[in-house]
Structure 1
Amino acid sequence: MSVVTAPEPAFTVQGVDYQTALAQLRTVRETVFVREQGVPLELELDELDPQCHHVLALDAQGEPIGTVRLTPERKIGRMAVLAAWRGRGVGDALLLALLDKARELGWHEVSLHAQASAIGFYARHGFLPYGERFVEAGIEHQAMRRLLDAANPVETHEAAIAALLGVIGTARRELWIYSRELDPGLLDHPDVVTALRQFGTHRGVAHILLQDAVAPQSSHAPLLGLAQRLPSALLFRVIEEPIDRAYASAFAVNDRGGWYFRTLGHRPEGETRIDQPARARQLQNVFEPVWERARPCSEFRALGI
């Protein structure tokens, strides 16, 4: 497994031998799970540990700061990052290293049990929720999975939200969203609105095509309020050409190969993938000529958009 080096403050991420690195793994896991989250020690340690692939993050002094494992059942687990290092890319680097390992092993799919507070983090890495939430070691969890070499089916409303978070969260500078009327239940979901706000405040630009501009205004769609605060980040146009209005699908696509496509634009079901540039370019090529033919949303001028 390759070593991943992050910008300053520096840390490295690498695969480790379980027995050799046991003390370092336990330092991180017991700090986070046992002392911080109150998980009983006898539940934190299990018989699978010696059989797993383990990845360890080390700071510039070689001290352990994070870890995660991949079990023989193809499940990612025991993701732990010390508090001082959270929000600095350690978790992302750990997860990417394990996904690389799963591909190296030729695995088609990986799954995990995400703590409820971490669902958005895993969604940004292409994982979709399935099944009901459950309690594990006294903490609410959600099962999630990701296909590594194919589009992931989006079958529920919860998976649709995760798919959008994945596309928005992995965008670099541009998003293209083709919607009917700002997709009530999806584009007004608080997590999606938050993700778009974060994207916009980091100089990202979302181009949003609508078939109906009146309905979002009548329903006070949250994205319109966001666009008032970030008018250069959310750009709207309305489709008028009959041939364009006959298009029944909807999609979101970004500039890093991420996409979420729905054959029926009024339904959440579809497919998604965050790492397929060829398909993303296809969807962008569908979007751009329609954008050029569409008109600015005069309906939103009173809102200052």
Structure 2
Amino acid sequence: MPDRNKAYTVKRVTWQDAETDLRILREFVFIGEQNVPVELEWDGKDEQCVHILAQDKKGRGIGTARMTTEGHIGRMAVLRAWRNRGVGSDMLTALVTIARARQLSRVQLDAQTHAVEFYQRHDFIPQGGTFMDAGIPHQHMTRSLPPLDVHININDLPKQILGETRGYIDLKGRDDNQMTAIHMVSQATRSLNLFTPNLDPRIFNNEGFIDAVKQLAIGNPRAKVNILILDPSDVVSRGHRIVELARRISSRIFIHRADDEDQDRVDTFMIVDNIGIIHRAHNDRFAGLAEFNNPPEARLLTKTFNDAWERSQPEPELRRLHL
């Protein structure tokens, strides 16, 4: 579970939506504290980068970082009062998770030399000698993101065992996603956490998936199914079998609406029994990855899910559908 006393949150944002906050932080840290020339700081790449924004409980920006489409991490800035409190680590972890979801083979960065040990703790390795950038000594560092064990053909899906089989499956179409979700959830015995913008009916509103969720919910008195939706309006207007299932098994299946600060997410993912994962970087595309046995990645996604769940609320419209 997330630390309820944690004084900040970390989320993915776009430059278009959060430019003001990101500019203020970087101007304060880089231009103000470190005397980086303005023309070097604003390099024209921000609109194409993925950005991370850390905020305190009042929604004020306290840290930021970015990553290019090629996996170059940079512009890591944390306000002085928030340094050495885990903000940088959480932002870096978020970017590495995004890089894995994009199937990048490695990430890289140019660390200020005083921060080399910090990045080494996150498995980055120095490459070459130090160099000067904006008058500050830097060290180039890389971290490999090797393929997750071996590639598994989708035709071998029936052989995959939750918690045992190592390897990853490339998901390419609707059927891949639907069959994999059913096969993974049908083996669950403890939990299902599902983060989805709209409970995509092409994948989740079918008899096989609903039956798998039902068997999980009734098969273990401690089992729990948490479903977090960004926009419940489509579910409300068209109906969904999983809503009816949640009405009948209300003590085990919970559906919440995501908080406003999570509304900019575009991905969808599920974690099954805290060990199996399915992750699509873009909800409107079928391309994604599935793994039946990857505890480290499952832990990272579980933390992301739990943090968002803590901020979420039961959806009134869905509760009315339950009546």
User: Matched residues, percent identical?
Assistant: 20
Question: Aligned ranges for residues 276-295 of structure 1 at < 5 Å?
Answer: 276-295=294-313
- How does the TM-score come out when normalised to structure 2? 0.49
Shift of 1:150: 3.2
How many angstroms apart in 1 are the aligned matches of 2:155 and 2:289? Answer: 22
What's 1:125 paired with?
161
d(CA) in 1 for partners of 2:321 and 2:237?
12
CA distance in 1, matches of 2:154, 2:181: 19
- Higher relative contact order, structure no. (Cα contacts within 8 Å, ≥ 6 residues apart): 2
* Helix, strand or coil at the partner of 2:293: coil
| Aligned twin of 1:253 | 271
Unaligned 5+ runs, structure 1:
1-106, 127-147
The correspondence of residues 11-160 of structure 1 with structure 2, limited to 5 A, is 108=150, 122=158, 125=161, 149-160=166-177
Question: Paired residues, what number?
Answer: 172
In structure 2, relative to structure 1, the CA distance for the partners of 1:288 and 1:109 (3 Å cut) is closer
User: 2:314, 2:166 → 1: CA distance?
Assistant: 39
Kept in 1, the 8 Å contact 2:193–2:225? The answer is yes
CA–CA distance in 1 between the matches of 2:229 and 2:292? 23
Whole-angstrom CA distance in 1 between matches of 2:202 and 2:302: 24
Distance of aligned partners of 1:111 and 1:220 in 2 relative to their CA distance in 1, 3 Å threshold: closer
Q: Which runs of 5+ in 2 are unaligned?
A: 1-148
In the alignment, which of 239, 262, 277 is matched to residue 220 of structure 1? 239
- Specify the SS of the correspondent of 1:186: helix
For 1:191, give the aligned amino acid.
Answer: G
- Partners in 2 of 1:110 and 1:152 — Cα distance? 5
Report deviation, 1:256: 4.3
Q: Secondary structure at the match of 1:279?
A: helix
Q: 1:231 aligns with which of 247, 250, 254?
A: 250
Amino acid at match of 1:254: V
Q: Aligned-pair RMSD on alpha carbons?
A: 2.6
Taking a change above 3 Å as real, the CA distance of residues 303 and 153 of structure 1, as seen in their structure-2 partners, is same
Give structure 1 regions of 4+ aligned residues with deviation exceeding 4 angstroms.
Answer: 107-114
| Contact 2:167–2:292, Cα closer than 8 Å, also in 1 | no
Residue identity matched to 1:155: K
Residues 186 and 113 from structure 1, CA distance in 2 versus in 1: closer, same or farther, beyond 3 angstroms? closer
Is residue 205 of structure 2 the alignment partner of residue 169 of structure 1? Answer: no
